[in-house]
Structure 1
Amino acid sequence: MEDSGHRRKRRDPWRLISRSTVSVVCVCFAQFALYLLSSFFNSFSIITLLFLSVMVLLGLTVIGRRCKRLFGLRGSAPAFVLTNILFIWCVYLVVIPQATSFLLDIIFHAELIVLLIGLYRISSGDPGFVNYEPISNTETYLEGLELPTSDIYEGSPSVESSLLLQRVRYCKHCHAHVKGFDHHCPAFGNCIGQNNHLLFLTLLAGFIIAEACYIVGASQITTSRTLDSDGRKVGWTVTLATSTMIFSILQVLWQAAFLAWHIYCVCFNIRTDEWMHWKKYPEFQHIIHPQPGETGTVTVTWFRNPYDKGIWQNLKEFIEARGQRSFAL
């Protein structure tokens, strides 16, 4: 069932260049806005600046969506991520090294190199595309399938060989079926499925480590903010280190929460798509049938997860199923 012949649609190079250009401009504009914020409110605490930065970024997001509707401007999420990485890297090279240790430099630069390689692999790799004949369309299959949860627990051969238990889901963004589908990741421009799920988690952890290193290095520079808060003008390097540190802190906060969610899903063998759209998949539905002789209708309550085999067994199966394929992309 694996689709070795699956090919994505060829992208128009000019369209890709235009979208990448929009993303580069958006990154520069956002970073400049944070720089101005840190410059005008240099005497404020980091907590206050974090709150103001969130407001500014939300405002820029609203403006970006208005421009998208009015002028049809569309950016590229992978290009946005790549540009932010390169921007932070350049700031680190220009501003940070004078205040950091050699070990921190090595860890930070090595982590960014690994991230760039990983970004290329996950964006260009096969997440687990499979090819179906029209008659075997997953949506049609699921609509006509009515299997009690007990059948899944008993592991009948007919169920185990079905598309349902292989957890093949349809991605509306890629217009393809993906084995082990978790979600479509706009930031990486690809689906997250069986073949690249572990790589996705590794990259997410890598971003947190790299940004944490940057925060540590930038904090050594931004200590001078308190020394200059008596009214003297703070240098541009300190302001730039402050604004990029605030940006990195915001990134770490949401990425840590996102990573925690995916670790939870791995531990309990549930996918993001399955958790959000469990009513689409019969095996997650706890169906209550009326007792013999009773009148009533079949009701569906909250889902029950037939794939959960315990945390340790779930982790073992996840690593065995995805470990080798994730890093071989």
Structure 2
Amino acid sequence: MVQLNDHMKLSASLQLIGRCIVSFIFVVLTQFAISLVPRFFSGSPFFIQLTLSALVLLVVVGIGGWSRRILRVYASAPAFVFLNILFIWGSYVAVIRRAVSNLMDALFNGQIAVIVIGLCRILSSDPGRVTHESLCSDRLVESSGFGVEPGNKNSPSLRRVRYCKSCKAHIKGFDHHCPAFGNCIGQNNYFLFIALLLGFLTAEASYLVCSVQFVRKSQKFDRNWLEVGHAFPFLAAEINLVGNLAISTMLFSVLQILWQGVFLTWHLYCVCFNIKTDEWLLELIALIMFSQINWKKYPEFQLVQSEPGESFTRVEFRNPYDKGVLQNVKELLALR
């Protein structure tokens, strides 16, 4: 039995190492592919370069999906995120740092440190797992195979408990399973999740400012750099590499800011109206389909109405958890 457990641990460790290696390959592939955009389209407007970089990212994502389906090669999303952070920070230290002030340098390095700490915390955090004993004691019943609802809806300890198929666990205040952070986002770590999103956005915005400063300063010295390149041809390739790296990582940061900004706006909306991501998707369907949809997923969102003289009942969407924007925000802050 002991040998079997050791074998399973060794197998899991080797599998994790393999997935990290695959993630490293995809990070290098992604950054290299984006670096080709400023190299071959240096004369194009920034918007064109940004669009091409987005297409490059989509191609890399498609390659990742193809490798999973065909080759059965899996990457680790948290490792991919962490390695991209290291790549951006390494690019900053090696290239961008020389063009920024000491204050900006300290600010950016501090932001990277906070992000790394936050990422480690959310990876190991408990989102609010509910034990099997608690489920049995409160008579939780499955709802259409998608979630769970307390038999006693007035039970404050187990309200809004949902089942995560990825973690195979019941999560209190379940919002969604986040592959990028390798964990469920629930009642216990939702505030940390929002704070980490803000941290990513501010760090990427800071890197964008620093890289723009570097590009502007390098443009002022372009004539001198060209003279150096003509005098020492072996330095010309290094000079071009440095410039392409600064612009490609800037393009990468802009793309990250764009989608993360939308994602954060979405979650701020959910906070203001006290609705979770999974429930928000349910509400979106309700808004699109109006009264033609039958909400079977979470019964507490169903409002059944029967008008006098009508031979059928109408089912409408309602959010029983919405207590007003201020109270909803206070509830989030109370989860710290």
TM-score class, shorter: 0.7 to 0.9
> Which stretch has the larger CA shift, 33-42 or 274-283?
274-283
- Equivalent AA in structure 2 for residue 284 of structure 1: F
Name the structure 1 match of 2:330: 316
SS state of the match for residue 206, structure 1? helix
Give deviations 1:119-151, integer Å, cap 9, x for gaps: 1111111010001357534415999x999xxxx
Distance 1:146 1:47 in 2: 48
Alignment of 1:18-29 (within 5 A): 18-29=18-29
Distance 1:184 1:141 in 2: 19
Distance 1:265 1:272 in 2: 7
SS state of the match for residue 153, structure 2? helix
Contact preservation (8 Å) 1:142, 1:282: no
Tell me the TM-score normalized by structure 1: 0.83
- Aligned-residue sequence identity (percent) comes to 48
Give deviations 1:59-80, integer Å, cap 9, x for gaps: 1221221122211011000000
Give deviations 1:84-135, integer Å, cap 9, x for gaps: 0000000000001111111111111111111111111111110100013575
Consecutive unaligned residues in structure 1, runs of 5 or more: 1-8, 148-157, 324-329
- Relative to 1, partners in 2 of residues 1:39 and 1:259: Cα closer, same or farther, differing over 3 Å? same
SS state of the match for residue 12, structure 1? helix
Alignment of 1:1-329 (within 5 A): 12-133=12-133, 136-140=139-143, 159-161=153-155, 166-223=159-216, 224=218, 235-277=240-282, 279=295, 280-291=297-308, 294-301=309-316, 303-320=317-334, 322-323=335-336
Greater helix share, structure number: 2
Shift of 1:212: 0.5
Give deviations 1:265-303, integer Å, cap 9, x for gaps: 111111111122463111112322243xx35232323x2
Distance 1:142 1:287 in 2: 22
Distance 2:170 2:219 in 1: 53
Contact preservation (8 Å) 1:23, 1:76: yes
Consecutive unaligned residues in structure 2, runs of 5 or more: 1-7, 227-235, 284-294
- Equivalent AA in structure 2 for residue 117 of structure 1: I
- Relative to 1, partners in 2 of residues 1:48 and 1:227: Cα closer, same or farther, differing over 3 Å? farther
Distance 1:114 1:81 in 2: 15
> Which stretch has the larger CA shift, 270-279 or 131-140?
131-140
Contact preservation (8 Å) 2:100, 2:214: no
When the two chains are superposed, the root-mean-square deviation of aligned CA atoms in Å is 2.6
Distance 1:121 1:13 in 2: 20
Distance 1:100 1:162 in 2: 52
Give deviations 1:195-242, integer Å, cap 9, x for gaps: 10000000000000100110001011223459869xx77622111000
- The answer to which structure, 1 or 2, has the higher relative contact order (CA under 8 A, 6+ apart) is 1
Distance 1:210 1:55 in 2: 24
- Relative to 1, partners in 2 of residues 1:225 and 1:25: Cα closer, same or farther, differing over 3 Å? farther
- Equivalent AA in structure 2 for residue 300 of structure 1: V
